[in-house]
């Protein structure tokens, strides 16, 4: 993803830039003063050229000086140093967002861990306000716990996790979530991450204080002790950080409300900071006792592997031959595919046999091989590795959490983008007490994780905005979300969600993904239109019925007066008229 190039860019930016400025000032001291143009490298080129003609060797020495001074500043940048500087990339760009991101990372991990262990999650989220801009957030789960030796690395080292190397649907994928939150807490308050974890009733619970050494991206353990803990298994994480507690769209409250819609199997207990209502406790009981299907891990599909990853796989493989490398490390590669591939590389001018050892393949040849892989036909990846919420549960969850009078959901069959299987589902709640003239509420989810920021950059927003909602009897201004009393929930389930950045806030605009979202929206839209038409017809009927009830008695009175009818005759006339009108209206 963008991680490597980004850190490379940082290295290039920081180091040569300072070198250049020095060179410029030095030149300015000598010759630039005459022209009055200083320090911009491009400006003093003619003077430099003249000087080179006059004193060539001296200039060479100068270059060496600059190279030396550059060398003294060139050093490795640890990933944590990079992200400490560029914390916005991970979602810590302002205090309100930082607090939400921290809670989100901890809740993601809690739910992931429970699911992996087949445990129905019960997660406690507590946010304490310590000062105006200082908070302590605690997230406690009933998951499998973390073994003693792993705790420091998980919480004090970036890019350390169990999910990056496996292709499996999960909330976390980069191993950069909770440790980055801990690092942000440390940088803003100086406080360590506090962890209690217990990996089973027969093991002791351990209490840790961990800080990250940002320079080295290594953990430092300040406290490591056994403690009494009432939970038989689980993990509690506490992070103290600078933050702001907000209500509204980007609030923790709003985020948790969305979590329970997409995770109907989870119970979430939320204790908000002591403000207006001290000691408040919001309990979201689970909607179902049915745990989601444990997603299966898969091997990468050849069409989804980028060149860099392919090279790494080639170098790191234990396979002895190209054939076994391709067949063991990738999915959907059989003898036929290998045969076709080698024919394709041969026509591109590279002769390989199935027995060529992978280590003998040079980088250039690997590039030819990789691009040939992209050109040949390979069966689409298997899609049983996905675990969507499911139509029934999505409707049930919406019914429980959103007051409306119409609910529907559509789960699309699995599809594939760039070799990665994915599945889209859409849930919709309409009507009820929701305001009708404002924009709809769009809940975006990736592997059941609510996405709170960068709505405009997300494929889900794009597909929703571009759908002609008027066809489904919903009003919409050009280029905007529809305006209706509606909550729309869209989830993408995938082994690798293509986020637009590390902070995992928006899904990239892959045509296949946009297409699938569109189809799911259309399906829900059609059902909604049927509902709205029926409702309108019923309302119309109701109105006509009320006219008959309201006006016919008056006609009866008028007829009584004109024709001199008795009260009984009048009543009979009114009954007959009502009957005739009701019948003729229905015809």
Ligand X SMILES: Nc1ncnc2c1ncn2[C@@H]1O[C@H](COP(=O)(O)OP(=O)(O)O)[C@@H](O)[C@H]1O
Total binding residues toward ligand X, as defined by CB under 6 A: 20
The yes or no reply on residue 173 touching ligand X (CB under 6 A) is yes
Tokens found for residue 60: 């060479």
Footprint of ligand X on 186-245 (CB under 6 A):
235
The yes or no reply on residue 503 touching ligand X (CB under 6 A) is no
- Only segment of 171-179, 385-393, 559-567, 576-584 that touches Mg ion (CB under 5 A): 171-179
Strands 282-284 and 267-271: antiparallel
Nearer to Mg ion, 174 or 321 (CB): 174
The yes or no reply on residue 143 touching ligand X (CB under 6 A) is yes
Say if residue 306 is exposed, middle or buried (CB neighbours under 10 Å; 0-12, 13-18, 19+): exposed
Q: Quickly list H helices, 438-510.
A: 459-466
Alpha-carbon distances of 161 from 293, 337, 476, 500, 529, rounded to whole Å:
22, 33, 44, 21, 46
Nearer to ligand X, 297 or 541 (CB): 297
The yes or no reply on residue 304 touching ligand X (CB under 6 A) is no
| From candidates 162, 267, 321, 569, binder to ligand X by CB under 6 A | 162
Residues contacting 173, CB < 8 A, separation 6+: 163, 164, 496, 497
Footprint of Mg ion on 511-530 (CB under 5 A):
none
- Angle (CA) 524-528-533 rounded to 5° is 155
| From candidates 78, 102, 109, 179, binder to Mg ion by CB under 5 A | 109
Nearer to ligand X, 461 or 501 (CB): 501
The yes or no reply on residue 178 touching ligand X (CB under 6 A) is yes
- In this structure, what are the phi and psi dihedrals at residue 236, rounded to the nearest 5 degrees? -125, 130
Residues contacting 571, CB < 8 A, separation 6+: 556
**Cα 111 to chain center, whole Å?**
15
The yes or no reply on residue 141 touching ligand X (CB under 6 A) is yes
The yes or no reply on residue 172 touching Mg ion (CB under 5 A) is yes
- Dist CA 97 CA 251 (whole Å): 9
122 touches, from ligand X, Mg ion, none (C-beta below 5 to 8 Å by class)? none
516 touches, from Mg ion, ligand X, none (C-beta below 5 to 8 Å by class)? none
| Cβ count within 10 A of residue 347 | 10
Strands 441-446 and 486-494: parallel
Contact 98, 503 (CB under 8 A): no
Q: Taking the complex as a whole, how short is the minimal distance between the CB of residue 105 and Mg ion, in angstroms? A: 5
Nearer to ligand X, 110 or 467 (CB): 110
359: left (phi over 0), alpha (psi -120 to 50) or beta: alpha
- Only segment of 106-114, 224-232, 274-282, 562-570 that touches ligand X (CB under 6 A): 106-114
Give the CB-nearest residue to ligand X.
172
- Only segment of 50-58, 177-185, 198-206, 490-498 that touches Mg ion (CB under 5 A): 177-185
Nearer to Mg ion, 177 or 234 (CB): 177
175 touches, from ligand X, Mg ion, none (C-beta below 5 to 8 Å by class)? ligand X
The yes or no reply on residue 113 touching ligand X (CB under 6 A) is yes
The yes or no reply on residue 169 touching Mg ion (CB under 5 A) is no
The yes or no reply on residue 345 touching ligand X (CB under 6 A) is no
- Only segment of 32-40, 68-76, 173-181, 389-397 that touches ligand X (CB under 6 A): 173-181
Contacts of range 222-226, beta carbons closer than 8 Å, 24 or more positions apart:
222/192, 223/192
The yes or no reply on residue 182 touching Mg ion (CB under 5 A) is no
The yes or no reply on residue 152 touching ligand X (CB under 6 A) is no
Alpha-carbon distances of 577 from 557, 560, 562, 566, 585, rounded to whole Å:
13, 14, 16, 16, 12
Tokens 């001291």 identify what position?
29
The yes or no reply on residue 161 touching ligand X (CB under 6 A) is yes
387 touches, from Mg ion, ligand X, none (C-beta below 5 to 8 Å by class)? none
Contact 443, 535 (CB under 8 A): no
Three-state secondary structure readout of 57-118: HHHHHHHHHHHHHHHHHCCCCCHHHHHHHCHHHHCCCCHHHHHHHHHHHHHHHHHHHHHHCC
- Only segment of 60-68, 77-85, 170-178, 350-358 that touches ligand X (CB under 6 A): 170-178
**Taking Cα atoms as reference points, which of 189, 196, 192 lies closest to residue 98?**
189
Nearer to Mg ion, 177 or 243 (CB): 177
The yes or no reply on residue 454 touching Mg ion (CB under 5 A) is no
Q: Taking the complex as a whole, how short is the minimal distance between the CB of residue 2 and ligand X, in angstroms? A: 16
Please give the residue ranges that form the binding site for Mg ion (CB under 5 A). Answer: 108-109, 172, 177
Contact set with ligand X (CB under 6 A) = 105, 109-110, 113, 141, 143, 146, 154, 161-163, 172-179, 235
């Amino acid at each position: 993803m963008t991680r490597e190039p980004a850190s490379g860019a940082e290295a290039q930016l920081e180091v040569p830039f300072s070198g250049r400025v020095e060179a410029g000032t030095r030149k300015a001291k000598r010759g630039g003063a005459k022209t009055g143009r200083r320090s911009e490298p491009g400006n003093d080129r003619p003077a430099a050229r003249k000087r080179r003609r006059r004193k060539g060797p001296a200039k060479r020495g100068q270059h060496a000086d600059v190279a030396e001074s550059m060398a003294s500043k060139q050093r490795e940048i640890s990933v944590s140093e990079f992200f400490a500087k560029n914390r916005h990339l991970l979602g810590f760009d302002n205090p309100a967002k930082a607090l939400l991101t921290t809670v989100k990372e901890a809740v993601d991990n809690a739910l992931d861990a429970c699911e992996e262990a087949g445990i129905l999650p019960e997660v406690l989220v507590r946010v304490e306000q310590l000062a105006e801009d200082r908070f302590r957030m605690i997230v406690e789960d009933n998951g499998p716990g973390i073994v003693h030796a792993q705790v420091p690395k998980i919480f004090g080292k970036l890019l350390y996790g169990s999910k990056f190397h496996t292709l499996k649907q999960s909330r976390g994928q980069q191993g950069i979530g909770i440790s980055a939150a801990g690092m942000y807490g440390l940088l803003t308050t100086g406080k360590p991450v506090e962890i209690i974890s217990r990996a089973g009733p027969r093991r002791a619970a351990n209490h840790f204080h961990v800080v990250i050494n940002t320079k080295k991206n290594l953990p430092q353990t300040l406290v490591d002790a056994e403690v009494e803990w009432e939970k038989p298994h689980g993990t509690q994480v506490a992070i103290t950080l600078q933050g702001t507690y907000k209500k509204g769209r980007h609030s923790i409250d709003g985020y948790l409300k969305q979590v329970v819609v997409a995770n109907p199997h989870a119970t979430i207990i939320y204790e908000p900071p002591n403000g207006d209502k001290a000691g408040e406790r919001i309990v979201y009981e689970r909607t179902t006792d049915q745990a989601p299907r444990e997603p299966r891990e898969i091997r990468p599909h050849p069409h989804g592997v980028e060149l860099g990853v392919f090279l790494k796989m080639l170098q790191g493989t234990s396979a002895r031959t190209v054939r076994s490398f391709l067949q063991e490390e990738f999915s959907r590669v059989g003898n036929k595919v290998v045969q076709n591939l080698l024919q394709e590389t041969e026509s591109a001018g590279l002769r390989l046999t199935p027995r060529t050892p992978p280590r003998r393949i040079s980088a250039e040849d690997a590039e030819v091989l990789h691009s040939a892989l992209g050109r040949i036909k390979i069966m689409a990846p298997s899609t049983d590795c996905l675990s969507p919420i499911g139509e029934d549960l999505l409707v049930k969850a919406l019914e429980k959490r959103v007051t409306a009078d119409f609910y529907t959901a559509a789960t699309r069959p699995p599809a594939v983008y760039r070799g990665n299987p994915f599945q889209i589902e859409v849930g919709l709640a309409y009507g009820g007490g929701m305001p009708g003239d404002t924009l709809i509420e769009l809940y975006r989810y990736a592997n059941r994780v609510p996405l709170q920021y960068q709505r405009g950059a997300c494929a889900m927003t794009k597909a929703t905005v571009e759908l002609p909602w008027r066809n489904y009897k919903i009003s919409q201004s050009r280029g905007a979300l529809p305006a209706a009393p509606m909550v729309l929930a869209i989830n993408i389930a995938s082994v690798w969600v293509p986020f637009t950045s590390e902070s995992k806030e928006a899904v990239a605009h892959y045509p296949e993904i946009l297409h699938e979202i569109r189809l799911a929206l259309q399906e829900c839209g059609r059902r909604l239109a049927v509902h709205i038409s029926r409702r309108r017809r019923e309302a119309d009927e109701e109105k006509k019925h009320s006219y008959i009830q309201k006006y016919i008695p008056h006609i009866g009175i008028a007829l009584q007066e004109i024709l001199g009818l008795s009260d009984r005759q009048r009543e009979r006339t009114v009954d007959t008229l009502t009957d005739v009108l009701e019948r003729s209206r229905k015809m």
